[in-house]
Amino acid sequence: MRKVMYLEFERCIGCRACQAACRECGGHDAKERNYVEYVDFFENRQTYPMLCMQCKDPACARVCPANAIQITEEGVVLSAMEEKCIGCRNCTFGCPFGIPKFDFEENKMYKCDMCYDRTQHEIAPMCASVCPSDAIRFIDHDEMMDLRRRRTQMNLIEGKKPSENNKWDYVPEFFGVYSD
Amino acid sequence: MSQLEKSFYSKSSMYSFIVVVILFMSMWIGTGQFSHMDWMLFGYMVSSFIFFIGMTVRLTSWIMRPATHEVIKRSIQKMKSKNSQKRNGKAIFKTLIDNIILQKYIFKRGVYRGIQHWLIAWGCIGSLAITFGLTLGWMHFKLVDASTYQMVVFNIPTIQMAADGWLAQMFFEGLNITASMLLIGLAMAIIRRIRDKDLKVTQRAEFDLFPLYLLLAVTLTGLFLTVSYKLLGGWMHPQLALIHQITVVVFLVYFPFGKLVHLPMRPMAVSVPMNYQETPGVDTRDCSGCGELYSNDEQIEDVKAILGAQAFDLKNDEGDWLADYCPACRRKLRVMSQLNLPKGAGKAAPVQTNNGIHMPGFGRKRSEDFYQPAHSGKEEL
Ligand code: SF4
Ligand code: SF4
């Protein structure tokens, strides 16, 4: 897979289309797995979308006592295997980014799996395919590098120079699964 | 223990040895010094040994994972502690009834799935119990007089029953009953696997389908045996018996290493109410960021220990740990640090969009005079 997820948090307009799309996805049981949240509700209406990072060495899988969280060969971190998950929620508390959700009724954990049914065929995940403001995109690795480069140039125009330990000042976040 | 451990190549070989010795002793007692072994079942017996060794190896390596180890350590500590006995008892009782015997949570995922799983699970457990009981000689039946059987468990005579009574029928038809349960459950599962497209996304042939068809083969050949001697006058009985034996041997050898191994792992679910959440969904620990309740002390302590054991460094610059924050605060911390607005950078301000230049990031806090009323600045001039 050469495609990556590309997030520009500040582009988010808070329409929550991505969450609606996530609920529609097959097997999601009408429950969304992504988040749209306010940066600071009392100050302004800026929102940001949040998805699973599909970590290379996922903390969620490492803290699971049942060994229920599997990683596909492409590197997608899947929701817990239903027959193994014992419902302890260690994954929710182990994930550095607060992603895995838990269904107390059915006693199972569920999390963003980047719409593995779609992305394994290089089709954009549900959220990325509906985002009207391109805050969430599913793009080629090369296109992503290009966008980041342009972003850097933009920052230089604005007089922002990258400093040490501060690379995020000028590049948005990308993640996902790609072979390099 | 550590001295004993040193004499073995690995933990799993040590435990396997212990398990084999125990099995052998139990057989020795059960069959009265091997006086009434059922040599017809020899093939099953050997594969049962392989089953138990495989299971020991699999479970040992599972328990040695840092996460599993930590949770089990906590459970043992709870078991030993005097003042949590009441909670332990309640947790064990509730998990046993709700999760294992009734499997309520699977019924909540769907009644169809619930029935299917319940039939397969109890069909399997029942069949395995009978198989091991008979092949390892833990129990056998003795004819006391012309019309009375007696069940002998570990060479100790127990209940007597009339040879044509319902209890005797239940025992002799035991495997047929469990096999029928399995057959219905398996048919339901296979239909579900064929119909449900969502399942196909992550389903793996060797992991999800193979055990299903293997169990089906075991069940069908087993039932055919009954049909053969009851209805067909023993037609093809020896051949069928051999085929059945082969399928059972494959099943027993496969069991510890495939999907079905969740059966012996499942009882760990008791650690959830016992170690962490006494009542599901009720939290007691508050988040260092927003103060909302999000977990409980024991669980966060364990999560930190597990992460620490695997060299995850999730400590913040402020010296606290990501695990001290609720999931919502963690999401925010991630966004804010990515946009270079770490904690203490002040409040995020609206993105300025009318200055002609697109500013990346959520924008910085404006200087205080931005918030002054427009005229106040003018008056000073
Ligand atoms: S749930 Fe969390 S730890 Fe697991 S892969 Fe996603 S971001 Fe990483
Ligand atoms: S809730 Fe399930 S997936 Fe998450 S850590 Fe516990 S057993 Fe593993």
- The closest CB to that of B306, out of A10, A63, A172, belongs to A63
Name residue, tokens 């929550």: A16
Chain-chain contact of A98 with B201 (C-beta, under 8 angstroms)? no
Task: Determine the pLDDT at residue B136.
Answer: 86
Name the residue among A29, A51, A19, A14 with its Cα closest to residue A126. A19
Around Cβ B369, how many Cβ atoms within 10 Å? Answer: 8
Q: Which are the contacts of B79, defined by CB distance < 8 A and separation ≥ 6?
A: B88, B274
**Average pLDDT, integer, range B341-345:** 62
Please give the interface size between A and B, counted as residue pairs whose CB atoms are below 8 Å apart. Answer: 166
Q: Out of B43-57, B186-200, B277-291, which region has the weakest mean confidence (pLDDT)?
A: B277-291
> A35, A79, A95, A111: which to mutate for ligand 1, most atoms within 8 A of CB?
A95
Tell me: pLDDT of B137 over 90.
no
Q: Is the pLDDT of residue B35 over 90?
A: no
CB-ligand 2 contact for A15 (6 Å cutoff): no
pLDDT band, very low/low/confident/very high, at B259 (cuts 50, 70, 90)? very high
The residue to which tokens 């997820």 are assigned: A5
Q: What is the ipTM of this complex?
A: 0.87
Q: Closest Cα partner for A86 from B111, B67, B327, B77?
A: B67
* Beta-bridge mates of residue B341: none
Task: Convert the pLDDT of each residue in B286-333 to its tens digit.
Answer: 998 888 999 999 999 999 999 999 988 888 877 888 899 999 999 988
Q: Does B350 touch chain A (CB under 8 A)?
A: yes
The residues lining ligand 1, judged by C-beta closer than 6 Å to any ligand atom, are: A 52-55, 58-60, 77, 95, 97, 99-100, 111
CB-based contact (8 Å) between B324 and chain A? no
Please report how many Cα atoms fall inside a 13 Å half-sphere around the Cα of residue B155, on the Cβ side: 14
Is there a contact between B244 and B108 (Cβ–Cβ < 8 Å)?
Answer: no
Q: What is the pLDDT of residue B312?
A: 87
Tell me phi and psi for residue B95, to 5 degrees. Answer: -65, -40
Of B67, B280, B339, the CB nearest to A64: B67
Query: B283 to chain A: nearest residue by CA?
Result: A89
Strand partners of residue A108: A103
Partner residue facing B348 (CB), from A46, A84, A173: A46
Cβ separation B310–A62 shorter than 8 A: yes
Q: Is the CB of A75 under 6 A from ligand 2?
A: no
Lowest-confidence pick of A42-46, B73-77, B91-95, B150-154: A42-46
How many residues comprise chain B?
Answer: 381
Amino acid identity, position A175: F
Q: Report whether pLDDT(B168) > 80.
A: no
Q: What is the pLDDT of residue B354?
A: 44
Q: Does B71 touch chain A (CB under 8 A)?
A: yes
User: Which part of chain B is CATH 1.20.950?
Assistant: 1-75+87-272
Walk along chain A (180 residues) in steps of 10 and give the mean pLDDT of each run: 82 93 89 91 82 92 94 91 92 94 91 90 93 92 83 64 53 54
Q: What pTM was computed for the model? A: 0.84
Helix-helix angle B210-230:B237-254, to 10 degrees: 150
- Give percent helix, percent strand, percent coil of chain A, each to the nearest 5: 25, 15, 55
Ligand nearest A84 Cα, by number?
Answer: 2
Comparing alpha-carbon positions, the chain B residue that sits nearest to A166 is B340
- Report whether A94 contacts A59 (CB < 8 A): yes
* Chain B residues inside the 8 Å CB shell of A8: 360
Q: Per 3-state DSSP, what percentage of chain B is helix, strand, and coil (rounded to 5)?
A: 65, 5, 25
User: Which ligand is the nearest neighbour of the Cα of A77?
Assistant: 1
CA separation for the pair A89, B302 (Å, rounded): 12
Based on its alpha-carbon atoms, the radius of gyration of chain B, rounded to whole angstroms, reads 30
Indicate which of A32, A47, A88 best probes the interface with B, i.e. most B CBs within 10 Å of its own CB.
A88
Residue of A37, A96, A105 lying closest to B108 (CB–CB): A105
**B322 at interface of A, judged by CB pairs closer than 8 A:** yes
Alpha carbon distance B71, B73 (integer Å): 5
Which pLDDT score is estimated for B21? 94
> What domains can be seen in chain A, in order of their start residue?
55-111 (3.30.70.20)
Distance CA A55, CA A46 (A): 26
**Distance from C-alpha of B279 to C-alpha of A17, rounded to nearest angstrom:** 35
Interchain proximity A166–B340, CB inside 8 Å: yes
Chain B partners of A109 at a C-beta cutoff of 8 Å?
A: none
d(CA B53, CA B20) in angstroms, rounded, equals 7
Q: What is the mean pLDDT of residues B348-354?
A: 50
Starting from the CA of residue B330, give the closest ligand.
1
Best of B69, B74, B265 to substitute, by most chain A Cβ atoms within 10 angstroms, is B265
Q: Which bound ligand lies closest to the C-alpha atom of A82?
A: 2
- Please give the distance of CA B360 from its chain centroid, rounded to a whole number: 47
What is the CB neighbour count within 10 angstroms for residue B236? 12
Q: What are phi and psi of B238, to 5 degrees?
A: -60, -40
CATH tag, B1-75+87-272: 1.20.950
Find the range with the poorest average confidence among A15-29, A75-89, B122-136, B348-362: B348-362
d(CA B128, CA B222): 13
**pLDDT at site A88:** 92
